[in-house]
Amino acid sequence: MNEVTSNVICPGTQPTIRDQWYVIAFSHEVQPGRPFARKCMDEPIVLFRDPDGQVAALYDRCPHRAVPLSQGKVVNHAIECAYHGFQFDRTGRCVLIPSEQRIPRSVSTRSYPVVEQMQFVWIWMGDPAKADPALVPSYAQLGCGDQDQGSWRFEPYFMMEIKANYSLLFENLLDTSHISFLHIGGIDGGAMATTPYTISSDNLTVTLERNLARDVAVPGTAKLFSMPIGQVFSRRLRSVSFLPNLHLISNTIGFPDEPSRKPNVRLNIMPITPASRNHLYQFVVIAMSYPADVTKDMKDQLWTVFAQDKDALEAIQAGYEEFGPDLREVSVKADAAAVMARRIIARLGRASAQNGASAAPLPEPAVAPADTPPV
């Protein structure tokens, strides 16, 4: 029996989990003096930076006449509505009504907890009392040390919008067999799908690992890992979902013919944020343990690869939209990690609907055999 059933959890209709930290923007996107608009969980959000450099997040509607605050401007420590000049501070409290001396208490808008870390602005969409900044992951927790130590290079690549439920992207990233087909020549020479793998799951973390003992760099992998075409290399690919808001792909590149040479490690740090039920943001920062010039061509290559995933996921989502959540699918053993993630998100959704779900630390899971059934 080579099938792994999914218990009819539809990944195209998975619930969003409000009591979590999600990335709403790159830090560099929120410029001083310029409101920045984005959506999260169907709510319009405006971000702005005050004169002290602190980021604030408010519901992007003026409570007076519902004009988006993002159409206004930043004035000192407040954002000013473009329509009538009402000003709101970082807490959402109205601090100025030009036509009135008295400000009614009812004139306010919702504020959201935010934290800046790892070149991202993280937002908490749920109960503010549960928004613990210590739950926001750090570079050190992800295995790439402290950016200030200078031992790693961190490069923001891009944010890609995908018209699909965010659960589908986690499943895609835990399915490393597809890269030998959908991304052939781009990030794999064709050997990854048949490479042995292990799968593990611990609390909110799912990990899939493949170890390729010996391969030869084709143009795509040579560019991706900054080595010459024809270079003999080994590759440890580790794909980890920290559900429901972050995914990490680690590639450790060794050099079998140069045993004394230190391995190169490249991490794809990818926060995943639900803009709505069928719309997500995928943020990408690349961390490298080795010196390499990051060119526009390298970023374009990765964009092309991720755009292939985008096309596939949007087609899958469209199928669920057209044929309904009971659309039949068949899973095999290689899908076990994806099915684990699917079930964890569904479980979090049920818990959130009852009592709220809070973020968990980033554990280091023990590796289990590849044929371990989903839980």
pLDDT by residue (tens digit) across 217-246?
Answer: 888 788 888 889 999 999 999 999 999 999
Band of residue 150 on the pLDDT scale cut at 50, 70, 90: low
Helix, strand, or coil here: 320? helix
- Give the helix/strand (H/E) hosting 224: helix 219-224
The average pLDDT across 296-302 equals 90
Q: Are residues 144 and 107 in the same domain?
A: no
How much is the average pLDDT of 261-274?
A: 95
CA distance 152 to 148: 9
- Domain assignment of residue 246, yes or no: yes
Dihedral sign from CA coordinates of 160, 166, 169, 170: positive
100 and 182 fall within a common domain? no
Task: Report pLDDT for 372.
Answer: 37
Greatest CA separation found in the chain? 77
Q: What is the mean pLDDT of residues 292-297?
A: 88
Query: Would you place residue 74 in the very low, low, confident or very high pLDDT band (cuts 50, 70, 90)?
Result: very high
Average pLDDT over residues 248-265: 92
Could you tell me if 289 and 168 are in contact, meaning their C-beta atoms sit under 8 angstroms apart? no
| Residue-wise DSSP of 269-318 | EEEEEEEETTEEEEEEEEEESS-----HHHHHHHHHHHHHHHHHHHHHHH
DSSP letter for 188, please: B
pLDDT digits (tens, 9 = 90+) for 336-369: 999 999 999 999 999 988 875 444 444 333 333 3
Q: Is the pLDDT of residue 149 over 60?
A: no
Whether pLDDT at 370 is above 50: no
Provide the Cα torsion 333, 335, 338, 343; round to 10°. Answer: -60
| β-bridge mates for residue 36, sequence order | 47
Dihedral pair phi/psi, residue 326, rounded to 5°:
-90, 15
181 and 265 assigned to the same domain? yes
Which residue has better confidence, 93 or 360?
Answer: 93
Portion of the chain with pLDDT greater than 70, in percent: 90
Co-location of 87 and 223 in the same domain: no
Q: Are residues 190 and 75 in the same domain?
A: no
CATH assignment of the domain containing 294: 3.90.380.10
Let me know whether 101 and 187 are in one domain.
Answer: no
271 falls within a domain: yes
Query: 143 and 90: one domain?
Result: no
Tokens of 295: 């060119």
pLDDT value at position 365? 33
For the segment 170-174, the average pLDDT, to the nearest whole number, is: 97
Domain that holds residue 44: 21-115
Domain end, chosen from 59, 83, 115, is at: 115
Give, for 222, the enclosing helix (H) or strand (E). helix 219-224
What's the rounded Cα separation, in Å, for the pair 229 and 220? Answer: 9
pLDDT at 42 over 90: yes
Answer yes or no: are the C-beta atoms of 12 and 321 closer than 8 Å.
yes
Does one domain contain both 202 and 339?
A: yes
Considering only residues 297 and 94, tell me which one the structure prediction assigns the higher pLDDT.
94
> Which residues have C-beta within 8 Å of that of residue 186, sequence separation ≥ 6?
220, 224, 301, 304, 305, 308
Mean pLDDT confidence for 155-174: 97
Query: Is the model more confident about 312 or about 187?
Result: 312
Shared domain check, 147 and 55: no
Please name which of 362, 364, 367 lies closest in space to residue 139, comparing C-alpha atoms. Answer: 362
Is 320 inside a domain boundary?
A: yes
Mean pLDDT of 92-120: 96
* 123 within some domain: no
- The answer to whether position 166 is within a domain reads yes
Q: How far is CA 252 from the centre of its chain?
A: 21
pLDDT more than 90, % of the chain? 71
Same domain, 106 and 48: yes
Based on the domain organization, do 169 and 290 belong to the same domain?
yes
Same domain, residue pair 170 and 298: yes
Q: Evaluate whether residue 129 is within a structural domain.
A: no
Tell me the per-residue pLDDT of 9-37, one tens digit each, with 9 for 90 and over.
Answer: 999 999 999 999 999 999 999 999 999 99
CA-based nearest residue to 241, from 342, 159, 131, 154: 342
pLDDT higher than 60, residue 307: yes
User: What is the spatial distance between Cα 238 and Cα 111, in angstroms, rounded to a whole number?
Assistant: 37
Number of structural domains (the chain) is: 2
**Does residue 344 belong to any structural domain of this protein?**
yes
Provide the pLDDT for residue 292.
85
Q: What is the CATH number of the domain that holds 47?
A: 2.102.10.10
* pTM, 2 dp: 0.89
Task: Find how far residue 178's CA is from the centre of its chain.
Answer: 20
**What radius of gyration do the chain's Cα atoms show?**
22
Between 140 and 356, where is the model more confident?
140
Q: Is residue 6 part of a domain?
A: no
